[in-house]
Structure 1
Amino acid sequence: MPRYCFCLQVRPERMAEYAERHRAVWPEMRQALRETGWRNYSLFLRDDGLLIGYVEADDLAAAQAAMAGTEVNARWQAEMAEFFTGLDGRPPDEGFLLLTEVFHLPDNERESA
């Protein structure tokens, strides 16, 4: 399954609240993510506000489009937008920067002697 990594910048003064909100992601948001093809989704927050996201999806653009069509995502993105810098009016799920994978060690890779 394809892997995707992205980054955003959380406002330093809002980091604690951002982390708190993600400890209690709405059940309907979690369900919508699953139903629209987001798998193995994780967010990591550095102490300067750099947010790194990792997600697996058959097709990230299709998963994003499916989420964009849900009412719960519209509510969530509206609430989360105030936590970020550099979005230029875009919702967070449309404003992140995708990173290029340069290395991956598969679980099933066999060691060579």
Structure 2
Amino acid sequence: MNRLAFKMHLNEGQKAEYIKRHNEIWPELKQLLKDSGVSEYSIFLDADTNTLFAFQKVSGEGGSQDLGQTEIVQKWWAHMADIMQTNPDNSPVSTALEEVFYLK
């Protein structure tokens, strides 16, 4: 099992909408994540900077950010593009984070 972490950026004033949309995550997207090996997925918000910190446990090498070729993920990205920083293809601007400590 691999652990992945990355950060993204939420637009100012969009916390409630971000939470609402994730509370209503589409069942087919949730199933795709599970089928792709994502067994745990948490997103935390640093409200002082609007930085989103994401953590995933995955089997295999890739995580959710590697599913951009699928139609459902492209639709999700478009659905989220108005409330967070995105690339021209609507994928979230994300920065992979290096694990520097892990306590078992």
TM-score higher than 0.5 here? yes
Q: Tell me, yes or no, if structure 1 residue 50 matches structure 2 residue 51.
A: yes
RMSD: 1.7
Aligned pairs for 1:9-28 within 5 A: 9-28=9-28
- CA distance in structure 2 between the partners assigned to 1:41 and 1:10 by the alignment: 17
In terms of fraction of residues, the more helix-rich structure is: 1
Query: Are 1:8 and 1:51, in contact at CA under 8 Å, matched by a contact in 2?
Result: yes
Aligned to 1:41: 41
* Aligned 8 A contact 1:42 1:54 in 2: yes
Q: How does 1:76-95 map to 2 (within 5 A)?
A: 76-85=76-85, 87-90=86-89, 91-92=91-92, 95=93
TM-score, normalised on structure 2? 0.85
Q: TM-score normalised to the size of structure 1?
A: 0.79
Relative to structure 1, the CA distance from residue 79 to residue 30 in structure 2 (aligned partners, 3 Å threshold; closer, same or farther) is same
- How far did 1:69 drift? 3.2
Q: Percent identity?
A: 33
Instruction: Name the counterpart of 1:98.
Output: 96
Partner-residue secondary structure (3-state), 2:14: helix
TM-superposed CA distance for 1:88, in Å, is: 3.9
Secondary structure, aligned partner of 1:60? coil
Specify every segment of 5 or more residues in structure 2 that has no aligned partner in the other structure, as ranges.
none
Higher Cα Rg, which structure: 1
Paired residue for 2:8? Answer: 8
Q: How many equivalent pairs are there?
A: 101
